[in-house]
A and B are shown apart, each in its own frame.
Chain A
């Protein structure tokens, strides 16, 4: 493995570094001006669209933005281009006929039958299943579609809806804000501790669907809970879209473990989503998305410590295969101090897939006594796969520490031989290495059924890529 480590403890105001690491090559400095087409990825960093406007007003404004814009292209000059222009948006429908009225097979197949606090399932544009443990309902927990939440719990929804999410940065974000249906709303009341997870499921079981998923989760002060989101699709032929908007707000002292398992299957599923997690005073969030498949996936993931004493652990893993393209922008945002952050991502790629990761640490002016670290490790398992990882640090306070590091690796033939001498064949040895590579994150899920699901998906991808991995070994 090639280690790339650039500690940059900032001791002067407005220190800025922008380090880049790709495929074990020397860091490349992105020079503004020389690459005129370069698009810098920006944090949301600021108030969202909500701002006292009604839902109808927001939909109206979003519709205008939708009509005024083209399908988005994200370009990271010299590294990658993520274009959604091959998506035939006009051919998709939010309400396919016949309307889905039951939980799709892919959901029942994938999710373990395990203790849970509640579950909400959206198929295409409709919520098809809502359940909530009655004891929790009696204690004031609300789990329902976001549509129902607006009509029945307006006072709980309005202050938070689109509080930090924007609605007009690109056509699909605008489409979500203008057209979303169904959706999920979870409210956990003050002081309530819930052991079992709330499950929020978005499923697409046929092509031709444009799914605009919208989730709002609010953890009242000192509540503690888990949220597991699943994004699943059947293996089908044809295009589909999931353009998601997710926001979670943790009030004073609340704690949440948020996990997401995304596997859009073998269909041509596009996913362009924005997820924002706001951590309030002395609150804590552990967030771990597992991005395990999708034809073309663009995720803007932002975890922000907004009030003093907030702390977060931002984890993530990804595994791309075949022709998949993944573009992750993960932001570790500190708007105030003291605060803590710890970002740790791991990814692997097989086939001709392309995974692009940009991790940004942003420490705003006045966010003193912030300590954070970002690391990204990646592994390329086939000669045509490519993983790029760009860690960036934007620091605007002087009494902070922020650094980043990472590795880009290939399979270690010495380790494979070592395991072969213990009787494991080559595919088994490769599996041990890759599973071991992901294990530090998987075990952090601290939830046995979820860990097993992610392990099984990783193993399935390795089995599917067996010939490819074999070819890689002989090509070197």
Chain B
């Protein structure tokens, strides 16, 4: 039994059905890539897994570590060990990165973390992600560059040590150095702590630095192809159009739909 089991997930936002029956199994220690064209439902899946209130699950279930979390509050999912790295991280003025991290860590614990333990932990994460120490005293994401925001996401992930992390297009908009830092961070958390990850991406670029064992292709709200890393290479050669033609009629609807979901 996988740690995270997604079964026949149907999701709607307002009147529009975005996910039309998604099945996916992810366990600790596994790196999955979820790829798909714009508008295929990738970000909807990420937000739904974390319990975003705007997304309505009409059918199916999400089970995490044996518990049904289909209707759980976002913070309950986080405390259980799920993590979402945002495509567009939100700025929280007036709260330093370090203070926020301390609050988030304490939210998962009965006793507040000791100052010394927190510092050691933070120092390790800072080195892992190649950020400046001063970074942690800045207000969270407030005035951060795109690359800094994504680094801050991975820093939080390293500190919170989730079992499964969902990375929603964390690679988009990053230059190659930032991309490499972020990707290497994920890979090291996987290697050192047994992190399980679902890397959601439109491009293949990040997958040169983090090697997924499982690759899923999402089109029109359904997973239409699954395989290993060879699927990434194939996508690189052939593009989504070729695959769309291959998987047939169901994907045609994608072309008729619009992007931005």
Shortest distance from the beta carbon of B165 to any chain A beta carbon, whole Å: 11
Residues of B within 8 A of A424 (CB): 75, 103-104, 107
Whether A433 contacts B92 in the complex (CB less than 8 A), given A423-B107, A425-B107, A428-B103, comes out as: yes
- Quick check: B92 and A432 within 8 Å, CB to CB? yes
B27 at the interface (CB under 8 A from A): no
- Quick check: B107 and A436 within 8 Å, CB to CB? no
A54 at the interface (CB under 8 A from B): no
- Quick check: B95 and A415 within 8 Å, CB to CB? no
Residues of B within 8 A of A426 (CB): 73, 75
Distance, CA A432 to CA B95, complexed state (A): 7
Partner of A432, one of B52, B75, B103: B103
CB closest residue in chain B, given A420: B74
Contacts of A400-436 to chain B: CB distance below 8 A: 412-415, 417-426, 428, 432-433, 435-436
- Quick check: A423 and B79 within 8 Å, CB to CB? yes
Residues of A within 8 A of B84 (CB): 421
Q: How many residues of B contact A (CB 8 A)?
A: 28
Q: Specify the main secondary structure of chain A where it touches its partner.
A: helix
Residues of A within 8 A of B203 (CB): none
CB closest residue in chain A, given B104: A422
- Quick check: B93 and A420 within 8 Å, CB to CB? no
Task: Report the interface size class on chain A.
Answer: 20 to 34
Partner of A420, one of B73, B91, B94: B73
- Quick check: A421 and B94 within 8 Å, CB to CB? no
Residues of A within 8 A of B78 (CB): 420-423
B154 at the interface (CB under 8 A from A): no
CB closest residue in chain A, given B95: A436
A150 at the interface (CB under 8 A from B): no
A439 at the interface (CB under 8 A from B): yes
Shortest distance from the beta carbon of A417 to any chain B beta carbon, whole Å: 6
Distance, CA A433 to CA B91, complexed state (A): 10
- Quick check: B89 and A418 within 8 Å, CB to CB? yes
Whether A439 contacts B90 in the complex (CB less than 8 A), given A417-B52, A421-B83, A423-B78, comes out as: no
B240 at the interface (CB under 8 A from A): no
Residues of B within 8 A of A421 (CB): 50, 74-75, 77-78, 83-84, 86
Residues of B within 8 A of A436 (CB): 92-95, 139
Distance, CA A423 to CA B92, complexed state (A): 15
Listed residue (B73, B79, B91, B103) with the most chain A CB atoms within 10 angstroms of its CB: B103
Contacts of B27-78 to chain A: CB distance below 8 A: 50-53, 73-75, 77-78
- Quick check: A435 and B94 within 8 Å, CB to CB? yes
CB closest residue in chain A, given B79: A423
Residues of B within 8 A of A432 (CB): 92, 95, 100, 103
- Quick check: B79 and A439 within 8 Å, CB to CB? no
Distance, CA A440 to CA B92, complexed state (A): 12
- Quick check: A412 and B90 within 8 Å, CB to CB? yes
Report 12 cross-chain contacts, Cβ distance below 8 Å, ordered by A residue.
Answer: A417-B52, A419-B100, A421-B78, A422-B83, A424-B75, A425-B107, A428-B107, A432-B103, A433-B92, A435-B95, A436-B95, A440-B94
Known: A415-B92, A439-B93. 11 other contacts (CB 8 A): A414-B90, A418-B86, A418-B89, A421-B77, A422-B78, A422-B83, A423-B78, A425-B75, A432-B95, A436-B93, A436-B94
Query: Measuring CB to CB, which residues of chain B are less than 8 angstroms from any residue of chain A?
Result: 50-53, 73-75, 77-79, 83-84, 86, 89-95, 100, 103-104, 107-108, 139, 156, 160
